[in-house]
Amino acid sequence: MSSDRFSHHSDSPSSPARHAFAVSPSDSVSLSPLPKALFVGGAGTITLRTIDSPADVTLEVQAGQILPLRALYVRANGTTASGLVALA
């Protein structure tokens, strides 16, 4: 079993992710837990809303890109990128 030398440090938005999960885009279901970033597996567009934004935005993204934003929603409508992974 490996030892976590950083277990005594508090988690923050700028610290490395401790949890990763596949994102299934949805027009009504929010991401939980709220991620620190999104990893893009396949290029396309992502329509999302960040935690403090009043409106959705659509981004053109490339495969392998990491988006350092706190997405509350990743919308199905307008999202063509694939292999999305939330990093929380």
Sign of CA dihedral 10, 13, 17, 20: positive
pLDDT at residue 57, rounded to an integer: 98
Q: What is the pLDDT of residue 36?
A: 97
Side-by-side strand order, sheet with 57-61: 57-61, 44-50, 71-75
The average pLDDT across 20-26 equals 98
C-beta neighbour count of 64 within 10 angstroms: 11
pLDDT of 8 over the 90 cut: no
Tell me, what's the pLDDT at 29?
98
In angstroms, the CA 79 to CA 29 distance is: 14
Q: What is the mean pLDDT of residues 31-51?
A: 98
Alpha helix (H) ranges present in the chain?
Answer: none
Residue at token pair 């700028």: 14
Length of the chain: 88
